[in-house]
Amino acid sequence: MTTTPAPQPENRYINRELSLLNFNRRVLEMAQDPKVPLLERLKFLCISFANMDEFFEVRLASLYEMLGDSNVRTVPDGLTPAEAIKMLNAEAHKLVEDQYDTFNHILIPELAQEGIRFLRRPNWTEAERAWVRQYFIDNMLPILSPIGLDPAHPFPRVQNKSLHFIVSLEGEDAFGRRIPMAVVPVPRTLPRVIRMPKEISGGDNDFVFISSILHANVGMLFPNMTVTGCYQFRVTRNTNLFIDEEEVDDLMKALAGELSTRQYGEAIRLEVADNCPPHLVEYLLDRFRLTKDELYQVHGPVNLHRLMSVPDMVDRPDLKFPPFQPTLPTVGKPGKKGFFLFGSKAKAPKNIFEQIRQRDILLHHPYEAFAPVVDFINQAADDPNVLAIRMTLYRTGENSPIVAALERAARAGKEVTAVVELRARFDEDNNIQQARRLQEAGAHVVYGVVGYKTHAKMIHIVRREHDRLAQYAHLGTGNYHHVTSRFYTDFGLLTAHEGICHDVNKVFLQLTSLGAAPDLQYLLQAPFTLHSGVIERIQREADNARAGKPARILAKMNGLQDKQVIDALYEASQAGVEIDLIVRGICCLRPGVPGLSENIRVRSIVGRFLEHHRVYYFENHGERPELYISSADWMRRNLKGRVETATPILEPDHFQKVYTEGLALYLQDNQGAWALQPDGTYLRLHPEEGEQPFSAQQALIDKYNTASET
């Protein structure tokens, strides 16, 4: 008797950009969660606004670029760009409306109950109104440049995401002409929210929006004329850079030239106050060549992301997450020779290289400090026995101590090679500056491989030890960024393992010489072996399941979109493999569909820290289970269009640490976890009856706090 296959969804895949919007909705839900401290909820709201900006200026902008090609389709779901844009604008409108509802109807009232008030113009007292007027005269009037619109003053060139006001006027200007409209740009240097003095408002934490200050005093910009309306607006533009890497001689020079035009790309979205009259809205849409689908009329200040400064201005620790200090790792086992607290004076070996030779050091950020990685580079720069340092730099931040150490090492005559990824989105300018610094110091600086971003996180150090050259390496899942390491979850491995270090050396040689793909013994590398290696391991688990053997796949990442990997996971599920995926953001796979993916479960974790590590586990029945940490998500761009690495975790203790802290704890989470449903929506998980609340992030904070106290 044959069975009829269960019906499968019309589309086996979830749209990538729709999944990204769903992630941002989860961030917004954190702003609505009463269990989260109130000022942290305001931060989550601000993050959701920043995410929406990037969604429009990067992801939706990319779809608009595709509109001219009738053959192109979105990957992996196969929509036309026009279909995707229409769907995404509709979903984005709903999300933006929910953002402002959260701000106006949830956060503002709750903040006011705690004495943190945003003072609105209709409710100002005479004293507050007088203070606002004087603030405008002293701090804004001298630097504002209103532009009356006439043939000699055409509509201004509006920068991406900059705050402007359109003003309607009556009366004659100084030259006897009637000017019906003007535009007032607000410089980025002006704060968007200002604290009002306690002696004026009566409260310690009373704030006023810059938009309210300008609204109340805009008439001062137009003497002898009558302002009949004043409405804020902001335009979001395409910020993708257009460089034909095959046609340029110097990528850094070409990129620097392109950056100057980024702020004036094609308009993608218009945000405008919801009380703006229709004729002015139509006028703005026409100026920016946008349709009503791309119009977002908002009830409140545009760009609420700028409220991110408020929690730092308010001294209310009871409304914030408790302070957390990262710990320093230990090496060895207590009670045995060689045990010491990393960086402690007592019992510590002479330098970090001796520590790593005794045993690999596995770091889990932000629970463990990033300082050992900085020490690794600093000691290499200053150690006369270190001959060469090679490093990839994707995002480092300003005033990076790591770049300073590389610069110092180069000036000391060491062989320093930096593979600087100039095309790290929104960090291009900073990376150009860092590259120039290193070049001036005498370092060899290369920009990766044409057509492939270098996203791998690697350091390679060669040190003379007695009569031999010893090699050391660091491989990580996150950037060499001393600031983001405080709130991004990442793993990093400091190792002297001979085989792994040889592999790292081979990858660097390939990046600088552009030679053939290296033959690696331990590492998997994109775009050569990582994609096929992942699929082979998924298929091996499927073969084991078909043979009646236990089969298991666990993986954690930021995004899952590659069609071939998804199809391999579908086949493994149908073969009986139990699969648990922890995917923070984009996930194009549909879990739990009968006959397709009923053995696949997908969850997303959103919490105090940004989940950033990538971990892959394959049970490999009958052999040693395989566990990798990686710089790569299972996205097409990472597996096919970037230089990435995946590093095996070989030491048993480290294996257990990564497995437990990177995977197992997150599968128990019922506080910050959402389960992906077959229809593409996410369901917030809560403790079942009799089940204790459990947060993976809080469990790790508690664990490392306890370890630090011990």
In this structure, the strands spanning 610-611 and 614-618 are unpaired
Our answer to whether residue 455 is catalytic in this structure is: yes
Q: Among residues 455, 497, 613, 654, which one is catalytic?
A: 455
- Distance between CA atoms of residues 289 and 676, nearest Å: 37
DSSP string, 547-578: TT---EEEEEES-B--HHHHHHHHHHHHHT-E
Please check if 584 is assigned to a binding site. yes
* Cβ atoms within 10 Å, residue 34: 9
Q: Check: CB of residue 435 under 8 Å from CB of residue 418.
A: yes
C-alpha closest to that of 228 among 179, 189, 162: 179
C-alpha closest to that of 645 among 487, 459, 497, 513: 459
DSSP code at position 247: T
Query: The sheet that has 205-209: what strands, in order across it?
Result: 116-118, 205-209, 193-195
Q: Check: CB of residue 633 under 8 Å from CB of residue 511.
A: no
C-alpha closest to that of 552 among 485, 612, 502, 600: 600
Please check if 51 is assigned to a binding site. yes
Q: Where are the beta strands (DSSP E) in 73-149?
A: 116-118, 147-148
Q: Check: CB of residue 602 under 8 Å from CB of residue 587.
A: yes
- Distance between CA atoms of residues 211 and 165, nearest Å: 9
Q: Check: CB of residue 409 under 8 Å from CB of residue 462.
A: no
For residue 426, give the 3-state DSSP assignment. coil
Residues 6+ apart with CB under 8 A from 31: 41, 42, 44, 45, 48, 102, 106, 107
The alpha carbons of the chain give a radius of gyration, in whole angstroms, of: 28
Q: Check: CB of residue 489 under 8 Å from CB of residue 610.
A: yes
3-state class percentages of the chain: helix first, strand second, coil last, to nearest 5: 40, 25, 40
Tell me how many degrees the CA angle 68-74-76 measures, rounded to the nearest 5.
160
Please check if 437 is assigned to a binding site. no
Structural tokens at position 99: 């953002």
DSSP string, 632-676: --BSHHHHHSEEEEEEE--SHHHHHHHHIIIIIHHHH--SSEEEE
Q: Is the dihedral of CA 192, 198, 202, 204 positive or negative?
A: positive
Please check if 264 is assigned to a binding site. no
Tell me how many degrees the CA angle 587-554-595 measures, rounded to the nearest 5.
65
For residue 101, give the 3-state DSSP assignment. helix
Phi and psi dihedrals of 268, rounded to 5?
-120, -35
* Cβ atoms within 10 Å, residue 425: 12
Q: Check: CB of residue 489 under 8 Å from CB of residue 613.
A: yes
Q: Check: CB of residue 511 under 8 Å from CB of residue 643.
A: yes
In this structure, the strands spanning 552-557 and 614-618 are antiparallel
Please check if 686 is assigned to a binding site. no
Residues contributing to the annotated binding site for Mg(2+): 395, 425
Residues contributing to the annotated binding site for ATP: 51, 488, 584, 612
Residues contributing to the annotated binding site: 51, 395, 425, 488, 584, 612
Residues annotated as catalytic are 455
